[in-house]
Structure 1
Amino acid sequence: MRIRIDLAYDGADFHGWARQPGLRTVQGALEAALVTVLRVPEVAVTCAGRTDTGVHARGQVVHADVTDEVLAASAGRSADPPPAALARRLNGILPPDVRVHRVAPAPAGFDARFGATWRRYAYRVADRPEAVDPLTRGHVLAWPRPLDLGPMNAAAEHLVGEHDFAAFCKQRAGASTVRELRELGWSRSSSGVLGARVVADAFCHHMVRSLVGCLVVVGEGRRPPSWAGEVLAAGVRDPAVPVVPAHGLTLEEVGYPADDALAAQADRTRRVRGPVPQENRP
């Protein structure tokens, strides 16, 4: 039986999503909790998008395969259905910086990683003294200079679409850097915080943080909006494009097709990406 787990986490004290020996990771914490609650030797989970050290998530999605018998036994005498009982018991032993929002049986053909059609991230920046809130410093980047929203959005228009984003990605041998960037835009909240909305079919390593870094340079007036397109067309990393800090970045949501299209979507994604793992780390 495949289960879908929706969860959120504060990435500040984690060395990213992926399990690493001797390091505290989100995957490691979740798998350890599942082993305890399900009373099995091991459980492997697969996520929609692997996040780097310091990156947060409100809408991470994972799947895990368990037997019906194991899931039912884990509920014990609970009056809740086994998936709901599992969610409650996981939250009882997980650290407070990880919360499971929901556990449910996954539809046929569901794959948290390959079945996703898009991921949505947000990057938040406080560029005005009155917008810098010490209570949100863990997920909002405090920027020392004012940023101009108009040029930043004009620059973003040069980046939307399907392109080779090699200029904005940390290269991995054999991995494609072609992605479809569906949305990239900035808005300012009532509290004065700038927020970037970034939606793509998938992301390569450091992609969102590099895109934001490029637009921040434009927002400061150091480069014109057309520069973003020039960087993209060059196809190589530009030292003038900073990779902004991880803590301003949050995985907000992951999209999937209708249940009857899940298997086809997963197969299509596997064929496009080939045998080399695509880690979707922004």
Structure 2
Amino acid sequence: MRLRIDLAYDGGGFHGWAKQPGLRTVQGTVESALQTVLRVPADDAVEPLRLVVAGRTDTGVHAVHQVCHLDVGEQTLQRCVGHMDVSPVEALRRRLVHDLPDDVSLHDVRVAPVGFDARFSALQRTYVYRISDGDRPVDPRLRGFVLNVEDMLDVYAMNEAAAMTLGLHDFGSFATPNPGGTTIREVKQAVWKRVPVTDMFGYVGTEKGTKDIDSNETSSAARETAANNSTNTGYFVPSLESGLVCFMIVADAFAHNMVRSLVNACVQVGRHRKSLEWFAQKMKNPVREGSTGPIAACGLTLEHVAYPAETELASRAASIRARRTLPE
């Protein structure tokens, strides 16, 4: 039986997704919990419990919604039912919720449809990178999820750079291929945005209606403006992401270090340390060099993995396994 497992995690305490000897990883932690609740020894050669994941996140990278699959025998799955009057899959879900550590959250466990492969059936992945710029203080609650940058970023220039990544390209300047693989990927969306300063309870506005705050203002200035414009008596409570500069990128798949390296290159453009012409040459000539290395992992989060209709899962997996090339 193949199970689909959806989960989230704070990557700060993990050395990435993939299991590594002697290191705490997401895969190792979840597989250990599965071995406990299903009573399968870690060294079981007959039925090893091994997760296959949609995207192998690096050390320090977070996930709001990660997807993986597990192949397990029905008799093995039955072991976790115990005295519960529920299905074996629901029993597994309940036991995992209690057995996983606080920095891993389980969304769901269910029987996967025929042809489902968490990695190869995926249509696209969505990542978001969050930055606090202008050297303003980062909310301590977000310190593990937001990168602080001293300079005020030029979001317009960064979007000019990001637009060059759209479509099918060889991202060899920003990534390293897996053995036998390529760095050719199709980017479907890539956009930078300064999040407007908004009040989570709706206390921003005038008597005639709400008023958007200039997204170019710094956080403190925007909050003061919002407070002055408010005709309500309630306290202005800004949403947590107010004022942050965020990058969203959607692609069919990502090569190793690709997202963080693209973010780093865009940030260099946004700080006016590199030009748009420089970025264009990096896209044109897919050669790895020092100035296009990955930015800090803390600001990156895997937000979503999309899959096709159930009838298309197997064909999607087969097409993705084929080695990709650029058109002539």
TM-score grouping bracket, smaller chain normalisation = over 0.9
- Does residue 179 (structure 1) correspond to residue 185 (structure 2)? The answer is yes
TM-score (norm 2): 0.80
State how many pairs are aligned: 274
Indicate how the Cα distance of structure 1 residues 273 and 46 shifts in structure 2: closer, same or farther if over 3 A, else same: farther
**2:35 equivalent in structure 1:** 35
Name which of structure 1's ranges 49-58 and 181-190 shifts more when overlaid on structure 2: 181-190
**2:267 equivalent in structure 1:** 216
Inter-partner Cα distance in structure 2 for 1:143 and 1:129: 6
Residue 175 of structure 1: CA displacement?
A: 2.2
Q: Secondary structure at the match of 1:221?
A: coil
- Does residue 263 (structure 1) correspond to residue 269 (structure 2)? The answer is no
TM-score (norm 1): 0.92
**2:149 equivalent in structure 1:** 143
For 2:189, give the aligned amino acid. E
**2:176 equivalent in structure 1:** 170
**Which of the numbers 223, 241, 244 marks the counterpart of 1:193?**
244
**2:102 equivalent in structure 1:** 96
Inter-partner Cα distance in structure 1 for 2:26 and 2:161: 34
**2:125 equivalent in structure 1:** 119
Q: Is the 8 A contact 1:159 1:229 kept in 2?
A: no
- Does residue 25 (structure 1) correspond to residue 25 (structure 2)? The answer is yes
Inter-partner Cα distance in structure 2 for 1:32 and 1:253: 24
For 1:8, give the aligned amino acid. A
For 2:87, give the aligned amino acid. P
Inter-partner Cα distance in structure 2 for 1:97 and 1:273: 36
For 2:11, give the aligned amino acid. G
Q: Secondary structure at the match of 1:269?
A: helix
1:55-111 alpha-carbon deviations (Å, 9 max, x no partner)? 111111000011222223312222333322212211211111111110000000000
Which consecutive unaligned segments of at least 5 residues does structure 2 have? 42-47, 198-241
For 1:116, give the aligned amino acid. A
Inter-partner Cα distance in structure 2 for 1:148 and 1:102: 40
Q: Is the 8 A contact 2:130 2:244 kept in 1?
A: yes
Indicate how the Cα distance of structure 1 residues 69 and 52 shifts in structure 2: closer, same or farther if over 3 A, else same: same
**2:82 equivalent in structure 1:** 76
CA RMSD of aligned residues (A): 1.6
Q: Is the 8 A contact 2:189 2:250 kept in 1?
A: yes
Inter-partner Cα distance in structure 2 for 1:104 and 1:21: 29
**1:240 equivalent in structure 2:** 291
Runs of 4+ aligned residues of structure 1 deviating over 4 Å after TM superposition are none
Residue 174 of structure 1: CA displacement?
A: 3.1
Q: Identity rate of aligned residues, in percent? A: 50
1:149-172 alpha-carbon deviations (Å, 9 max, x no partner)? 111111111111100000001354
For 2:20, give the aligned amino acid. Q
For 1:33, give the aligned amino acid. A
Inter-partner Cα distance in structure 2 for 1:245 and 1:154: 22
**1:279 equivalent in structure 2:** none
Inter-partner Cα distance in structure 2 for 1:247 and 1:170: 20
**2:7 equivalent in structure 1:** 7
